[in-house]
Structure 1
Amino acid sequence: MADWDWREINDETLAQLCVFHVPDKPVQHQDAKNRAITSLPLNLTIRPSTEDPSRMGVWSVDYIPRGVRFGPLLGEVQQMNGADCALICPAEAASAGGPSASARNRSASPPLTVAPKKWKRKSNCVVIQVTSPSGGRALKTIIVEDDSRCNWMKFVNVAMTNESQNLVACQIEKDIYFYSIRSIKPNSELTFWFSKDYSQKINYPVSCEIARMGKREETNHDVFFFLSTRKRTHSNHKETRNVANS
């Protein structure tokens, strides 16, 4: 599938097309008090975002080919059980894959209003929800706030245009990964949108541009704050880059 289009394939196929995985910096070489910065892989750097210089962004140092996997996203994990597990859809279908998104919305009680519990901003942090395969049940939430418990992926910003997007966020089993959907040149900011499968699960538009068209009935405005609320707290460092593993 040399000519694959990420908008037309499922998450399982995306995972199979992965050419290699870029791991975080080894835990033993991270600062336990600031894993968000010190987990950064060697081929990436953190510096002000192009979209808003007051925010930090993740940039490439070297060439990154298409099909590279980053992750998983780390943060404070809260397992969902009992009543909390049914927040998305109380009556998830028993059949494999479950009902369509529209059917899930109709069956929810109270009516589902654009994924209120998924990928939402909470104060100055982000709450990410991991769902069941059909998207009908919440399995766990990942709170991206505490720098001692998060990794560098918290600094990756949402793409503002289809042209600028170079990553896609996927749920593989019970984790969130980023995959490069095109080759990324050195000195490029990494930005993402959601994969076809994952966007259906969390009830977001299929592209960042559709979301930006103001169709608030189709999306949650808080998505634009996802991983974009990190202000420049490290004022003494114009750029943060890992140059060695030790």
Structure 2
Amino acid sequence: MLCDDVTSETCTTSDSVDYQNPVKKEEPEDEGYLCGGTSSPVGLIITVDQQTGEFQRKLVKEEEPENDEFLYCEDCRSYFTNKCEVHGPALFIFDTPVPMGIADRAIQTLPLGLEVGKSDIPDAGLGVFNKGETIPVGAHFGPCEGDLVDREEAMNSGYSWVISKSSQCDEYIDAKREMHSNWMRYVNCACNDKEQNLVAFQYRGGIFYRCCQPIKTGQELLMWYEDDYGKDLGLAFDNLWKRKCSSNG
């Protein structure tokens, strides 16, 4: 994990996350007025002393918004938290449970109906194919699993993702080792965003894939990434994405 030594804040990683039961955020207490734009790290709170009636000013650091608390409805073209008001809760297709440390663990975690075979992309090696019923738009896979590594190791792997923890702290996960990763390591990047049928995005501290086009029987799963995810991570993500695409040959 890479943290720039800018503030005294630290990042912690939870071993398990309940992706099905979103936690409602606490509303801020109405203690005064917050002045300053959302892009500024510092705001000004103005309060009134109850005894003297005088105004008091205090500079405070604004909290970063938790953008990865939201899911996206492909039909409504809008974001939601607990469930879409029109289409209900999001569909999650979970991995086959397999203990860590098994040599071919990644392949064994494939959900029912998916298979690993030779990719349709020239020189890309293996890929993931749908051998079951059509996967509907809006289905979710994930999270990606792998080893937590430092930035340097992540940049030298075609199986890495960067996860934003705060403005000064990122985490890197590498799915290179099959015994510590899942089947998502085999999903290839689309040659362009028009060929994609999966969207990679960050959700609750993990990387998930969302189905953005129906994936019919025999089709290969090909992913691109959500614009906001790539934009927020800047150069680190750009380098990792180029590495992923070069792994396709």
**TM-score scaled by structure 1?**
0.59
Q: CA RMSD in A?
A: 3.4
Name the counterpart of 1:195: 226
Alignment partner of 1:220 is 2:238: yes
Query: CA separation of 1:127/1:169 partners in 2, compared to 1, >3 Å: closer, same or farther?
Result: same
Return the offset for 1:32.
1.2
Alignment partner of 1:66 is 2:99: no
Q: Which has the larger radius of gyration?
A: 2
Q: Is the 8 A contact 2:143 2:206 kept in 1?
A: yes
What are the equivalent positions in structure 2 for 1:1-246 lying under 5 Å apart? 3-5=75-77, 9=78, 19-27=90-98, 32-62=102-132, 63-78=134-149, 121-122=155-156, 124-132=157-165, 136-203=167-234, 220=238, 222-226=240-244, 229=247
Deviations 1:66-113 (A, max 9, x none): 0101010000024x8xxxxxxxxxxxxxxxxxxxxxxxxxxxxxxxxx
For CA contacts below 8 A with separation 6 or more, give which structure has more relative contact order.
1
Give the aligned length: 173
Structure with greater proportional strand content:
2
Tell me the SS of whatever aligns to 1:27: coil
Q: Is the 8 A contact 2:230 2:238 kept in 1?
A: no
In structure 2, how many angstroms separate the alpha carbons of the residues matched to 1:38 and 1:51?
Answer: 23
**TM-score scaled by structure 2?**
0.59
Amino acid at match of 1:226: K
Query: CA separation of 1:158/1:119 partners in 2, compared to 1, >3 Å: closer, same or farther?
Result: farther
Return the offset for 1:35.
1.1
Q: Is the 8 A contact 1:118 1:128 kept in 2?
A: no
Return the offset for 1:3.
3.4
Query: CA separation of 1:23/1:2 partners in 2, compared to 1, >3 Å: closer, same or farther?
Result: closer
Deviations 1:13-41 (A, max 9, x none): 6985764111111225x881111111111
Which stretches in structure 1 are left out of the alignment for 5+ residues?
Answer: 81-116, 205-218, 232-246
In structure 2, how many angstroms separate the alpha carbons of the residues matched to 1:142 and 1:159?
Answer: 21
Deviations 1:105-154 (A, max 9, x none): xxxxxxxxxxxx599641x5433211036xx2334210121110010000
Query: CA separation of 1:54/1:172 partners in 2, compared to 1, >3 Å: closer, same or farther?
Result: closer
Return the offset for 1:224.
3.9
Q: Is the 8 A contact 2:116 2:126 kept in 1?
A: yes
